[in-house]
């Protein structure tokens, strides 16, 4: 059965979302159709609007959500109608090189980097006004119903509050895992976190859980400092308050640089600053923010030659289908909080207001 429902469609770049009635096709073999109950707004969605991340239009964005399985296609075994689930923008097929390697998590089935915006058979499950609408990262959650490949769906605890655990679909897991999985922050270490949005705050939570003794939060918006401190930051600094480069400020504050730094913004200048502020011999810097398309980084190779490590992290290094149900279980056991990451709750029809709140740092 084709389902007619509401969705926020982006017809072209740099324009507001338009709330449309769309048709959602039934799931094909190994696909799952989900009723989305809650979805978060992530800066990565905004990158598509501004063109910093190149995707085909028209498109239904959104990749951080939670919902309930409505129907399943042939051959689907891991979920059934009625199950509570979280969509996975990094799927886990369990068969590719990255899924089989203990160190890897970026499944080959992801749409990240290919930006095709289609299901694995090269077609889409969305139509609006007779036009095919593209999928985003194999998830597309800014709609009442969506279709995903079975490898991109994680079944979670049926008691989990979907309006909270939806952030485990991207923001929380990405930041928390960057600290715990990618950097492997050690007890007693010193960390610097650039960017205090939802993901940056989640990095702070991860550093705290790992036992870091000093967590320095860096942002040009000082309004974000109170929440950063509440979640574990020991120091908060605004680069605008200094007349020297921020990496020099951090190096002086820590007597030679931090053990771990995290860039959680997606700007090339802060990526190089985060690298430069970590200890010159054994410091580790992790890129968490999505880099802008067509921009290159220029840096002095001596920064790496002396021993620093520069790493990237996608979805916090978690193997998605395995990790997401466990993270939800940890949330249910109160091992971490999610409420501070949720500042506003709006209906889908007010999605443009939600993006305005994101852009104004609220």
Residue-range domain boundaries for the chain: 3-171+317-360, 184-312
What's the confidence (pLDDT) of residue 114? Answer: 73
State the Cα–Cα distance between residues 40 and 165, nearest whole angstrom.
10
CATH of domain 3-171+317-360: 3.90.180.10
What's the confidence (pLDDT) of residue 292? Answer: 81
State the Cα–Cα distance between residues 83 and 69, nearest whole angstrom.
5
In sequence order, what are the residues at sequence separation of 6 or more whose Cβ sits closer than 8 angstroms to the Cβ of residue 344? 354, 357, 362
CA angle 167, 169, 173 (to 5 degrees): 80
CATH of domain 184-312: 3.40.50.720
DSSP assignment letter at 179: I
pTM: 0.95
What's the confidence (pLDDT) of residue 271? Answer: 96
What's the confidence (pLDDT) of residue 85? Answer: 98
Burial 142-181, CB ≥16 within 10 A → b, else e = bbbbbbbbbbbbbbbeeebbbebbbbbbbbbbbbbbbbbb
Extract the tokens encoding 330: 């940890």
What's the confidence (pLDDT) of residue 64? Answer: 98
Peptide bond into 324 cis (omega under 30): no
Say whether 184-312 and 3-171+317-360 share the same fold.
Answer: no
> Cβ(170)–Cβ(82) under 8 Å?
no
The stretches in the chain having pLDDT less than 50 are none
* Closest residue by Cα to residue 42 from 286, 331, 232, 290: 290
What's the confidence (pLDDT) of residue 27? Answer: 97
pLDDT digits (tens, 9 = 90+) for 161-172: 999 999 999 999
* Closest residue by Cα to residue 65 from 82, 35, 90, 40: 40
């Amino acid at each position: 059965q084709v389902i007619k429902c509401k969705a926020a469609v982006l017809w072209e770049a740099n324009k507001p979302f338009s709330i449309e009635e769309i048709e959602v096709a039934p799931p094909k073999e190994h696909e799952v159709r989900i009723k989305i109950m809650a979805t978060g707004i992530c800066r990565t969605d905004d990158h598509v609007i501004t063109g910093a991340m190149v995707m085909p239009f028209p498109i239904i964005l959104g990749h951080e959500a939670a919902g309930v399985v409505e129907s399943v296609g042939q051959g689907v075994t891991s979920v059934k109608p009625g199950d509570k689930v979280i969509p996975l923008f990094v799927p886990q097929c369990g068969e590719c090189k990255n899924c089989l390697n203990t160190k890897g998590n970026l499944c080959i089935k992801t749409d990240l980097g290919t930006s095709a915006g289609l299901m694995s058979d090269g077609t889409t499950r969305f139509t609006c006004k007779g036009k095919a609408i593209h999928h985003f990262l194999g998830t597309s959650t800014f709609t009442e119903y969506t279709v995903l490949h079975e490898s991109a769906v994680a079944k979670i605890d049926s008691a989990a509050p979907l309006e909270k655990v939806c952030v485990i679909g991207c923001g929380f897991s990405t930041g928390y895992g960057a600290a715990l999985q990618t950097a492997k922050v050690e007890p007693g270490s010193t960390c610097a976190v650039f960017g205090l949005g939802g993901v940056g705050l989640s990095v702070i939570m991860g550093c705290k859980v790992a036992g870091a003794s000093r967590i320095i939060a860096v942002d040009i918006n000082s309004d974000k400092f109170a929440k950063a401190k509440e979640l574990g930051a020991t120091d908060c600094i605004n680069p605008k308050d200094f007349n020297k480069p921020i990496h020099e400020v951090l190096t002086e504050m820590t007597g030679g640089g931090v053990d771990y730094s995290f860039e959680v913004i997606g700007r090339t200048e802060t990526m190089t600053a985060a690298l430069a502020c970590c200890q010159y011999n054994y410091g580790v810097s992790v890129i968490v923010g999505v880099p802008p398309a067509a921009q290159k980084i220029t840096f002095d190779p001596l920064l790496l030659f002396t021993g620093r490590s520069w790493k990237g992290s996608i979805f916090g290094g978690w193997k998605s289908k395995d990790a997401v149900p466990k993270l939800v279980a940890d949330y249910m056991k109160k091992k971490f909080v999610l409420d501070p990451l949720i500042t506003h709750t709006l209906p889908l029809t007010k999605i443009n207001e939600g993006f305005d709140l994101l852009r104004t740092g609220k």
